[in-house]
Structure formats: C-alpha cells, structure tokens
Amino acid sequence: MSRIGVFVCHCGENISRTVDVERVAAYAAQLPGVAYATDYKYMCSDPGQNLLKKAVAEHQLTGIVVAACSPRMHEKTFRKAAQAAGLNPFMCDMANIREHCSWVHENRDEATAKASDIVRLMVERVKRGKVLEPITVPVTKRSLVIGGGIAGIQAALDIADAGHQVVLVEREPSIGGHMAQLSETFPTLDCSQCIMTPKMVDAANHPNITLYSWSEIESIDGYIGNFSVTIRRKARSVDEDKCTGCGVCMAKCPQKKIPNVFDRNLGLRTAIYVPFPQAVPNTPVIDREHCLKFKTGKCGLCAKACGPQAIDFEQQDQLVTEPVGAIVVATGFDLYSIDRKPEGSSIEGYGEFGYGTIPDVIDGLTFERLASASGPTGGKILRPSDGKEPKQVVFIQCVGSRAREKGISYCSKICCMYTAKHTMLYHHKVHDGRAYVFYMDARTPGKCYDEFWRRAVEEEEAVYIRGMVSRLYQRGDKVVVMGSDTLVGVQVEIEADLVVLATAVQAQPNADSLAQKLGISYDKYNFYSEAHAKLRPVECATAGIYLAGACQGPKDIPDTVSQASAAAAKVMTLFAKDQLEREPIVARVNERNCVGCFACRKVCPYGAIEEKEIRDRQGNLIRTVAHVNPGVCGGCGTCQATCPSKSVELDGYTDEQIVAMIEAL
Amino acid sequence: MQQNHTQLADDSYFAAVTNAIRTETTKLLSEGTVAAVIGYQAGTRAGTVIPTIITDAAKAGDLVFSPGCVNNLALYLTKAKKEVRPAGKVAIIAKGCDMRALAGLLGESQLKREELHIIGVACVGVKGAGAGSGEALTTGTIARKCRECTVRAPEGADVVVGAVPPLPEFSPVEAEELARLEAMTPAERWAFWKGHFSRCIRCMACRQVCPFCYCEQCLCDRNRPQALETTPRPAGNMAWHIVRAMHLAGRCAGCTECERACPMDIPLNLLNRKMARELKTLYDFEAGLVPVEKGPLTEYREEDDQSFIK
Amino acid sequence: MEHDFEPKIVAFVCTWCTYAGADLAGTSRMQYPSNVRVLKFPCTGRIDPVFILRAFQKGTDGVLVSGCHPGDCHYMAGNFHARRRFAAFRQLLEFIGVDLNRLQFSWVSAAEGGKWVEVVTELTERVRAMGPMVEFKELEMEEHWSGKLDSPELKEAYQNI
Amino acid sequence: MTKTITEQKLRSLMDLLLKEGRRVVAPRQAGSIVLYEPIDSGEQLVLGIMPRRSAKETFFPLCETILTYGKDGNGVMVSDVDAGAFPETILVGAPPCDAAAPAVLDAVFSWDYNDEFFLERRKKTIIIGLACTAADDACFCTAVGLSPRDDKGSDLFLTPVAGGGYLCDAVTKKGKVFLDTYASFLAGGEAKPLPSAEPAATPLDLAGIKDWLESNFESPLWQEFADRCAGCGACAFLCPVCHCFDIVDEGTETKGARRKSWDACGFGKFTNHASGHNPRDIQNKRYRNRIMHKFKYYQDKFGQTLCTGCGRCVRSCPVGIDIRAVLEEIQAKP
C-alpha cells in the first residue's frame, strides 16, 4: 500500500500567485494512496527540504511528489533529499506546476484545476514507481586504438602518457597512415615526415603502447569498460623479435619490380619490403602474392641472406585477444578512385577526367609522392608517362566532392588548402612552370589558412580559374583541359603536361564492416556517426567507443590531432574511476515472455540488446531471448514501444506507470 | 446478376500437385532429410482438408492438395505451436502466400532456413469464404486474396510442385472494397467498423491462426497494466482490432487467415491490406518471398516523410 | 473567455526537447490554454501507439505527440523510429474512422517555447471547435448483450466511470 | 388440438409482443451473417437459417457487467446490477439443437451456486423452437440423441408445414399459457408438416465413449486429435452448451466495473495459475478437457451430455477439426 507525500511549493509567489496551493494540497490529501499533503513557501530551501525529510519519517511515506518547478530544475535536489530521508531517490518525482502551469495560465481556477490534475497524475506515477539502484560497471583501464595514422598515434600517445595501457592496431606493415605519404603540410609548409616520424617512433617505443602492425580487428565483444578484442596478426613471414631491420633481405630479393602502393604505384619495391624507409616498425613483410618462394617454392634468397634467421615462410596468421575498457576508432580515409563506378556503389565515376586512362592525370596524393623528398622521384616533379618535368600543370578541385548528382554531396574540406599548397610546391620546384587551378569556391577557414591561400594566388603565381572542367583528352603528349571561366564568361582550353585531381575524401572501403563489428553507426557515406553533432562530437552512440580523425568525416591534420587528443581525454575520464556508475533508467527483458523476435535489437540505437540462451537443467537450449546490457543501454525506451508483447520494459517509465497516468487523466 | 463462373483448373492439376507432394514427402522421409512434413490431408467433409504432420513415409499417401487447402501451415512452425513438431529439419507445403509468411518468420528470428525444407506449390488459388465445401474452384468461388495474387509461382522454395495453367483476369474485389472504404468520410468508416467489431466475440481465432501472432504473452492478455480490455465489449473489441492491425503492420504477409478464420465474418484483412498499402506508399516496403533484416517499422531513413508533423 | 466545451488535451512529449520547450514557454511567461496535460517520456521512441488509443478511450478529446527535431534526438534515432510508427498509426486510425484533426504530431525543440504555445493553442482551439470526441466514449458505454444499457442504475454507474 | 400460425401472423405476434414491452430475441441479419439478436419488428425475424452463434447468449451473454464500483475519500461504493430488472423475453426461431441447450445448462448454473443472471433470464424467457428443415454436412443432432423435430427445451414448438405457415404446439405449461393468451393469432385445422432435415449421422455410443474416456486420460490419441488445434475459442464460443466464463475487473483502483464474459478451455491462459504454472500447458491437454467435459464430466455430474449436435464447432474450426470424427475414433476403440 502506497503512502505518498505531496508537497506543494509556493515558489515565493511564482506559483501561489496563480495557483491556489492550499486547495491543491487539500485535493492531494484525499487522493487514494496519499498519506500526507502540505504546501510550503520554498520547497527547495533547506527548511523546505527538512520539512520533506521530517514528513517521510513521521508519516512513513513510501513515495514523494513535489509539486513545484520543472524537474529539469530541482529533480536532483529533491531526490537527494528523499534519499537522505531514507527513501529510494527514484520514488521521488516532481509535478511541474510552475513552468507548465502557474507561469503560463492567468486564470486562477483553471490553473488550480490543472495543478491538481498534474499532481494526481504524478501521484499515480509514484504509486507505481519501483526502487531502482544505480548500475555499476567495472572498468578495464586499457584502451584499444584502431588505426596508426596521425589520429591513432596521437590518441595512443596521450592515453599512454596518462599511464594507461594502449593496444595500437595498424592494418599496414607500418604505422604513419596518410600523413606519412605527404610531402609538406599546410599552412606552414613544414615537412610531414619530419614532424610525423618522431611521433611514430615515440608510439612504437612507448612502454605503455603495444603496437600490432600488419594486423586487423577480427571481432569485438563486450561493452563499455569491458570489451574483448580479437586481433588478427597477419603473417608477416618475418619474425619481428629476430629481425634487426638491416635490409639485406630486400637487397637480395630478385622480385624488384612490384609497384609500391605507398608511392601510389609510381615507385617499385621488392617482394619482401618495408613500405617506406622510415617505416615503424622497420620490420619487412613478405608480399606472398609476388614472392617467388610462395609462388614457385623456389628462391628463399632472403632467408639465406638473413643473419638473425628471421625469415619464416611457415608463419601463420595469429589471433590474439586483448581485454580493453575503451576503444578509439581512428581508421582514417581513402581517396576516391574516380575512373569508374565501383561495384555496388551509389557513387558515379568520373571517366570524363581520364583518370586511369590518361597516365598524366593523377590525384593529389600521387602529387604528394612526386613532391616528397623521399618519394619515387626524390622530390622532383616528373610526370608519370615519360618522366619529363611538366611545364603546365592543371589542378582541378572538387572532383567527386559537392556533386550530388554523382553521389557525394559533402565538401572534402582539405582540397582547397592542399591544392594551394601543391601550386606552391610546384612553383618552388619548377620555376618556369605554370599552375592553373579550376575551382568552385576557395574554402579556407582555419588559422592562417586564408593567408596561405592568398599567398598561392598573389605571390606564387598560381592561376585560379573559377569554373569546372567539362572534358579532358590526350593530344600528342599533352592533356587538353577544356573548361569555362565563369567569372569572365569564356571557354578555356589549356594544354597541360600534367593534371592533378583533388579527388573526394571518402570513408575507408571496409568502414562499414568494422562499424558492424564495433556496433557503431555510420552515415550513408560510411563515415562513422558521432553521438551528437554539436555536443558529443567525439563519442560514438555506443558507449565506450570514441572517434578520432577522418573516419568520422573529412578533416585536416590540426582538426584530426585535436579530436584525437579529445578522444584520449574521454578515455582518461572513463578510466578515472574504477567503476562506472549510471542512472538505472535502463530497459529490462522479461525472459519468460520474450519470444526472441529481436525487434528490440533492430531499433536499439545503442546496440545494447544481446542474445541470451535459456537452457534447461540438462543444458539443452530451450530458447533464445533478448537481453539488455545495462552498461550500454541509453534508456530511450524505443525497444519497449516496438516490442509487440511488451517483454522489454524501461525502468522509470513502465507501461504500468504510463497507463495509470493516462487513466487518471 | 447471374454470372457464369468458369472452373479454374481441372482435376489433373490438383492430382499432379498431390502426386508430386507425395513423391517428395516419401523421398524426404525415407532418406531422412527431414523429420516431418507439414501438409494437408482430406477432411471429414467433402472438399475440406485438415493440416497434418507426417513423420512416416508410409503415410505420404494421406497428403493431398485441393482448392480447400486454405490454411497457412506456417502457423505450425511458429513458437506458438512449438510442441507439435518433432525436433530437426521439417518440410512444409507452402503456397506463395504462405511462403511470404515463412520469409517474415525467418526475418524475425523465428525460423532457421537450414532447418526448413520448403515444398512450394505453384498455386492456382484456393476457395474463399462462402464457397460450399463440395464446390469446385471457379471464378466465383476463388478466395478474394487469390484474385489479386502475385506469388502464384513461389520463388526460393527448395522444390516447386505443379504448374499454373493459364488463368483469366480477376476483378480485384478486395482492392475495390478498400477503395470504397477510403472514399468514405471518417464517420462512415467508423460506423462500418463499429458494426463489424460489434459482432466480435473475442474468440481469438484471428490471432491464433496468424503465423505472426506467436507472442508468448499477447498484449491483450496482459493485466499489469491492462492496456486493452479483455472483455468482448464494443470498447475493447475496437481497441483489440486496432492494436492487432498495428502489431501486424509491416509484418503481415497477407495470407488472410485471420479473415478466413473469423467466425463472425469480420473483414479483417482490409485492415492489414490498408496498412500494407500505406507502408508501401510511405517506405516502399512489401512483404516478399525473401527475408529482410528489418521491417518498415524497425528501420528508418533520415529523409522519411514527415509532412504530417508540424 | 468562457466556452461551452473545454476539450481535454493530452500531450505526450519527450523530456529532452519538447518538455524543455514547454519549460521555456513558462520561463518566458507565454500564455496558452490550460487544457493540456503533459506526460513526459524519455523519448518519442518510448511512446507506444496504445497510449494514444488509451487516451482517446479514456475520454481525451485531442492528443499531441511531440519530440525532438530529426537529428536532435538525445538517443540519436528514437524520434526517427517514432516518426515511422506514428505515420503508420495515424493512417490506421483514420481508416478506422478517427478524425485526424484530433491527433497532432510536432517537433518542438528546447528552444521553441513559442512553437510549443502555438502548437498547443492551435490543437486546443481546433478540438474545441470540433466538440467532444464521442466515438470512443460511446463504445465505453455499450454493453454487448443487448446493445444498450438496460437499468438506469447501470447507466448512471457508467456515467460515473 | 393442433394449432397453426401463418408466417405473417407470427411476425405480427412479434410486433405485438414488442409493443407490450417484451424483448424479442430472434435470428436476425447482422452484417453478412445471421445472429440471435433483439429485434425491433417482426419483419426482422429470419426463419429457417441456423444463426452463426447459438441461442445461449439470450441467457448467458457474451459479456455482461455484474457490478460497478467507485472509491474516493468517503469510502468504497459498489453498485450491483439488478437481475430482477431483466426484461421479459421471447426467444423465437431456435432450432432444436439451440432450443434444447438452455435446459442442459440449468444444471450447472444452479448447482453449487445459483447464478441469478442466468436463472433470472431463464425464468423470464419463453422459448419458441422451430423444427429444422435445413441440415448441412456438419449437423449431427441425431448422433447425440436429439432430432430435427425434437421439442426438448422449447415452451412452444413450430413445425413448418407445406404451403407455408407452422404447426404450433405448446410443450410446457408456460407455453400453453402463452398460446392461450395469444390464441387470436392462431388457427385450427390439420396441416402436413414439411419433412425435417435428417442429418446423415448415426447415433453415437455415448456410454461407450464415456467408458473409454474414463480410462484414457493419458492416451497418445489426444495428441493426434489436437496437434493441429490452433487454440482459438471459436468452437466453444459458438457452442450452445459451452458455458465457461471469466470474471475481470475493468477500470482503475478508484472506479470501474466487474464483468463476466465467455471463456474457452482451448485458450492457453485458461488454466494459467498466478504462480505462472499452467497444468494444461499444451493444446492436447486443453482439447482433451473439451472432450472430457462434454462427454464425461458433465455426464458424471449432471447425467447429461454437453453437446446438442448443432455442428457449429465443425463449421467454425479454422483447422478443420471435426468432433464427430474424434468421437467415432474413440467409439471404435475397444
């Protein structure tokens, strides 16, 4: 039997001016289940709270309704007071008779009647309230960082510096990511390798960081504070412990003409290789597809040459499992290969720009490799077809980006700046050359960005043509670029020696499958979704998983590093406590009634619904039902509204409470 | 108006389907491919059938296929009927409309495809309400749903038996009835449904024969809270049929078993049909032969229509 | 102003956006008809169509369902699921014969105190002009066995319910 | 002496009864089907068609409120339904299988407790039965000891005659008084009754069936009979003698009504205990109960068979279960 106490607050005169609080209290007093009702000038004041506490003891109250301001204002206050009086805090609710009543209605009778109704509804709610205990979840203070580009390295270093273990997983043989491929960086033109490689080394040498390169995420189980990650360590065919990185193996390898992906296929590498000289770890990997030993069984020259006997042709993939409490996803981006429509993609190709068919049409990242001192040309700008220095270079921006009709409507954000950078690098290296840029708009928000762009235009002699290119074609050894200058209103035709396309920044090709393993959501471009665009830009909706860098959307290096540190800070916040404590407004499954249709799982925004097997005493599977992981559940209740048999129920907002309120309307 | 009704398939069609079912059943059971075959056997009254579960190859000869094979046997694969079938792989005779229900049940984790052997029937149609038990299948006696069938040749079955002979064009009686209702004013529609629901006795036949009503605890049997009146009064009847239609929206495969089973002749499928149509219009969803991961009411798109929201 | 008929309006709102929007209307001292009773939910995703049905059955003349604008949901997707659910449910109610002018859906953000006032006022006035929702109430009064109430006592008892 | 009444006179008689303030319940068109419902005029009377539901609801409605309650600061108020205020009723046009049913139910409704709702309506109702001329392939009254001409349970009995009209016989004293009161609607004379519709059913060995049921509570046959049963209540709800009911309070803690409505032993929750345990957890056990109750328990307790052979369960079963086949199979067992 409920014994509810109702406390009607005057809020000075804020409520009592329009609501007859005494009448409301008197009305409340005669409601079934109400044991005590009174009114008071300021319920939130110390005397008001004491009044409440005293009443709980004197009248053996089992629940409290404070009719006062909005619960958004003082729910915490009164729940704390109720708790201090020995009640479960969730047995205390507020009837909002100020914001929703006295402040918005002038007529005293109407406002009083409405206030009485609101109190009645809340009494019905509290009568059916349940004692709820806070939910605690233990936290494993180790973190996983997926992706060893600048975002992953930064996040890993920050977390490791805070004293927590980090597992850093990189798919490629070396960490470094796209930043390691860049020549110079805007807006300062400092050498990318010079600022990147020390960080790579720091990450590899950090006592708190376990680096798994040439490794991929196999599966992820668990939830915030308690993930279990299985990592596939792909067979390198080289024993990392034995290898000294001397490089003799590569020198001996007879397969020397394999296009190097790191150099955008401009340079060549051996079958046993490190992708670039500053690779971390500096342990080679055997490309089994091209290695003669793997292809024909004959060769093995590298193994013979290897002093420490590190070559191991028998090596197999290994699965390692790591317990972690938090995950930072930093898997970066890919550039759109624009020559044709990828199978199953909604994005149209750009065949008209000759990419993939005209050798001297390249993308921005390829240009970076041409301009890089450690690149295949040693930093000389030489075009791919004949190795000649191009005298006229056309840069085309927004290739793929901002083209709704081609399937990508977003701006890739970095192209305006890097194209400006490219014109400068080109100008610095080919003094008699001329750079043309076709652009739609120049977007340069960022510290010192517009100044940098203006420098390209005003000091470095780049010719900016506002307009799009309609067609490209090969004529002799030239690439003819036909476009329009929309500012002047004339057709333009340029005989270029080299064309550089600023192609769209895209999500990684397998971004969706990783998202599915992680149970995080992604947008229609496969960029990972943050929990809130403005206020939770670093967190995933799935608790305990954080985002850093371009996997979330196009980003430049400063933004990427900022977000990586922010993600690290979120991880450290999580790790600051031994246990996670959260409000117990979570869904619960009635396992007796659940028939396992998993409609709840289909609508759950948090991936909080798991399968649970119900077995008999002999261990035979009787049925599979839904189970809510309270550590992951966000408490929205969408599952309950979806469940046909109402076998899942949201604590704090049960059907019984809601229906009782509706019936008391 | 007197109409001349033509017979839709001669006896040889049904004999061929029956024989093929028997042959397949014998093979499946004698080879041990399946533990049981769910099919139809002749009923006690002329032209009627009853659902049956056969576990012995020697009984394969009991199975029949006739214009009286109205039941959606998918019912016997649901959890509501979990006690009646043996463990292991089960074969089921399924018309196209029944197969849509199977696809739905697969999508709702109620069945595993690998535990199912579907004997699809290329179906001419079955008899509808009002057809006498002894009558033949004609343009006059064919069920309303069969007049608008789009899945006569079921795809995705393990084996398909029978071949549909050429059929005449049918007037879409149910679609016309739906259009008639939609053209009414809300008050007229309310009167229409109130009249029909006033006959409802809450015998729950609509629920019990529905392959999708496999809940362990139906919302209408729940008493804490009692959100729906359990008594067969007009108030509770209205609420029950609204809730039923809503729970089936986006799931109902259109087998119309609810309407057929209703002893009070309430045109229940009009509700299901209406919801299916709206979900098709709104979200381009149609119950099909292929299981889908999410139904129209368990997924969303950011660009979904919200013209009704202020 | 005196009216012959004061409709009973119930609003099912999410706590993060519309409830906060209604709070803002209060802190801004805006004025609107006092007919509305607000029921707070964590999210529109929690709102079961049965609640709307139940409200009508229990004598509500107009129902408002309101939550966060698309993309603003505190739980990311609750309002998207709700949008589909209610798009379907309102079609069903209309097909049964409920006048949809009695059922309003809206997105009201925490910043839209003015919109809250506008939505509530408009619905209240519209329903007031329509008169009481008699359909479901009539059903509540009907017995099955005779089609009507036989004893005056029973009739009176019903009216009290 | 035999009396006759023309169809027109019969309808006029109904009009008069209505005018006198009686409730007249008769087969009447309700949508696409015919149901026993109160009529507003004699014209609405539909004769010679078996209504979809049985006549039991005239005495034992599908749902009725038995009390209403309220609770406030002043205490609890309970308002009972006054069974004494039930109207005088004429049930007309019931075929023998329906007309015979209420008498079968008298036993159970006045056994350990007098169900005033049922008994009061019984007391106040005159049943005018009608010989059956339209049996179909589901009918089996003759198998359970009735016949299409049986006036059992009727106060008055009408037999269609060649050329239209009915023979009108008083069966009970109540019927005799009624007949005398409304003698002006009748005519005398001889008339040739139309042949009644004889169902193609041979009498069942009800005693033999009961014997088998006595010793075969655990027979594997139950599974065979009931595997396909979908667990709906169509058979029980349409049955003229199934009489299970449920009592529920509808409303809130402070106000509401207590209602009695039909229930069916085929429903999964019928025997569900508050503990969650369900002794009849599977459909076979529920179907067994249906047969046991009709052909053994009711016999044990009241010496009657709980079946009038109307065939509604056969016609309405969505999965084609035929109680005749079940009984015949049982009968064939040693």
Phi, psi of A348 (to 5 degrees): -80, 155
Q: Evaluate whether A58 touches A86 at the Cβ level (below 8 Å).
A: no
pLDDT one-digit tens code per residue, A315-367 = 999 999 999 999 999 999 998 876 555 555 555 656 678 777 888 999 999 99
Question: Is B112 at the interface with chain C, CB within 8 A?
Answer: no
Does one domain contain both A290 and A409?
no
Over pLDDT 70: what percentage of chain A? 98
What is the CATH classification number for the domain harbouring A63? 3.40.50
Interface contact A132, partner C, CB < 8 A:
no
Over residues A474-527, the pLDDT tens digits come to 999 999 999 999 999 999 999 999 999 999 999 998 898 999 888 888 888 899
pLDDT of residue D202: 86
Helix (H, G, I), strand (E, B) or coil at D71: strand
Q: Do B308 and C92 touch (CB under 8 A)?
A: no
CA dist D109 and D117 (Å) reads 9
- Residue A28: CB atoms within 10 Å: 27
Give the tens place of pLDDT for each residue, A381-401: 999 999 999 999 999 999 889
Q: What is the pLDDT of residues B235-260, one digit of tens each?
A: 999 999 999 999 999 999 999 999 99
Domain assignment of residue B301, yes or no: no
Domain membership of residue B137 (yes or no) is: yes
- Return the residue in A116, A547, A662 with the most chain C beta carbons within 10 A, the one to mutate for interface testing: A662
Contacts of A322 (CB under 8 A, 6+ apart): A142, A144, A167, A210, A228, A229, A231
What is the model's pLDDT at position C74?
84
Token pair, residue B16, equals 């061929």
User: pLDDT tens across D148-163, in order?
Assistant: 999 999 999 999 998 8
Identify the CATH number of the domain in which residue A655 sits: 3.30.70.3270
- CA end-to-end distance (rounded Å), chain C: 29
Domain that holds residue A311: 235-316
Cα angle value A276/A282/A286 (rounded, 5°):
80
Same domain? For B91 and B197 the reply is no
**A482 and A624, same domain (yes or no):** no
* Of the partner residues A30, A660, A663, the one whose CB lies closest to the CB of residue D73: A30
Q: How many domains does chain A have?
A: 4
Buried residues in C89-108 as b, exposed as e (16+ CB within 10 A): bbbbbbbbbbbeebbbbbbb
* B200 occurs within a structural domain: yes
For residue D112 the two structure tokens come to 């350990």
Count CB neighbours of D303 within 10 A.
8
Contact at 8 Å (CB) between D321 and D229?
Answer: yes
What residue in D sits closest to A28 (Cα-Cα)? Answer: D73
Nearest CA in chain A to B297: A642
| Per-residue model confidence (pLDDT) at position D163 | 85
Kindly state whether residues B226 and B152 are assigned to the same domain: no
Q: Dihedral sign, CA of C80, C84, C89, C90?
A: positive
Q: Which of A72, A103, A70, A69 is nearest to C29 (CA)?
A: A103
A78 and A94 in contact (C-beta within 8 Å)? yes
Cβ distance of B219 and C71 shorter than 8 Å: no
Backbone angles phi, psi at A208, to 5 degrees: -95, 0
State how far residue A664 is from chain D, nearest Cα, in angstroms: 8
Residue type at B128 in one-letter notation: G
The confidence score (pLDDT) of residue C41 equals 97
Query: Hey, what domains does chain C have and what are their CATH numbers?
Result: 9-131 (3.40.50)
- Of the residues A127, A162, A197, which one is the last residue of a structural domain? A127
Total number of domains in chain B: 2
Residues A420 and A491 placed together within one structural domain of the fold: yes
Q: Among A599, D286, D262, which Cα is nearest to B204's?
A: D262
Give me the helix-helix angle, D206-215 and D323-332, nearest 10°: 80
Out of A32, A663, A664, name the one closest to residue D71 (CB): A32
CATH number of the domain where residue A449 is located: 3.50.50.60
Selected residue with higher pLDDT from A350 and D208? D208
One domain, residues A348 and A285: no
- Determine the pLDDT at residue D256: 87
- The three-class DSSP label of residue C140 is helix
**Nearest CB partner across the interface for D81, out of C144, C146, C154:** C154
Do B206 and B69 belong together in one domain? no
Same domain, B129 and B214: no
Asked if residue A86 is part of any domain, the answer here is yes
B296 CA: distance to closest CA in chain C (Å): 8
pTM summary value: 0.82
Instruction: Report angle CA A548, A554, A558 to the nearest 5 degrees.
Output: 60
Helix (H, G, I), strand (E, B) or coil at A421: helix
Cα(C67)–Cα(C89) distance, integer angstroms: 17
Same domain membership, residue B216 and residue B150: no
Instruction: Check: CB of residue A538 under 8 Å from CB of residue A547.
Output: yes
B49 within some domain: yes
Tell me what the pLDDT averaged over chain A comes to: 93
Q: Which two tokens stand for residue D277?
A: 């345990």
H or E stretch including B45?
Answer: none
Q: Tell whether B114 and B30 lie within a shared domain.
A: yes
Q: Which phi and psi angles does A395 have, rounded to 5°? A: -105, 135
Is D182 exposed, middle or buried, given 0-12, 13-18 or 19+ CB atoms closer than 10 A? middle
What's residue A339's pLDDT? 59
- pLDDT(B1) > 70: no
What the block records as the tokens of A27 is 């009305």
The A residues from 47 to 86 touching C (CB cutoff 8 Å) are 70-72
Return phi, psi of residue B93, to 5°: -85, 125
Question: Is C144 in CB contact (< 8 Å) with chain D?
Answer: yes
- The helix/strand/coil state of C90 is helix
Q: Is C99 on the interface with B (CB under 8 A)?
A: yes
Say yes or no: B91 and B136 in one domain: yes
Instruction: Let me know if residue A266 belongs to a domain.
Output: yes
Distance from C-alpha of C25 to C-alpha of A447, rounded to nearest angstrom = 40
Last residue of a domain, one of A127, A158, A175: A127
Q: Coil, strand, or helix at residue A34?
A: strand
Chain A contact for C43 (CB, 8 A cutoff): yes
Contact C60, C38 (CB under 8 A): no
pLDDT band at C71 (very low <50, low <70, confident <90, very high): confident
Q: Is residue A642 part of a domain?
A: yes
Torsion angles phi and psi, residue C16, rounded to 5: -80, -40
Mean pLDDT of A16-43: 96
Q: For residues A371 and A478, state if they share a domain.
A: yes
Place of tokens 């929205």: A636
CA-wise closest residue to D123 among D87, D147, D156? D87
B41 and B130 in a common domain: yes
- How far is it, in rounded angstroms, from Cα A229 to Cα A218? 8
Q: Is B297 among the domain residues?
A: no
Q: Return the number of CB contacts < 8 Å for C and D.
A: 44
pLDDT at B208: 96
CA distances from B183 to B176, B192, C97, C114 (A): 11, 12, 12, 37
Question: In this structure, are B69 and B199 located in the same domain?
Answer: no
Work out the average pLDDT over A15-38.
96
B101 and B234 inside one domain: no
Domain presence at residue B28: yes
Confidence (pLDDT) at A350: 65
Q: Is the dihedral of CA D175, D176, D182, D188 positive or negative?
A: positive
The SS3 call for residue B178 is: helix
- The answer to whether the Cβ–Cβ distance between B297 and C140 falls below 8 Å is no
Give the model's confidence band at C149: pLDDT under 50 very low, under 70 low, under 90 confident, else very high. Answer: very low
A chain contacts of residue B224, beta-carbon cutoff 8 Å: 656
State the residue range of the domain holding B130.
11-161
Secondary-structure percent of chain D, ordered helix, strand, coil, rounded to 5: 35, 20, 45
**For residue D75, what pLDDT band results from cuts at 50, 70 and 90?**
confident
Q: Does B203 touch chain C (CB under 8 A)?
A: no
Q: For residue range D154-202, list pLDDT tens digits in order.
A: 999 999 998 889 999 999 999 999 999 999 999 887 788 888 888 888 8
pLDDT classification of C146: cutoffs 50, 70, 90: very low
Residue with tokens 């055997």: A286
Residue B193 lies in a domain: yes
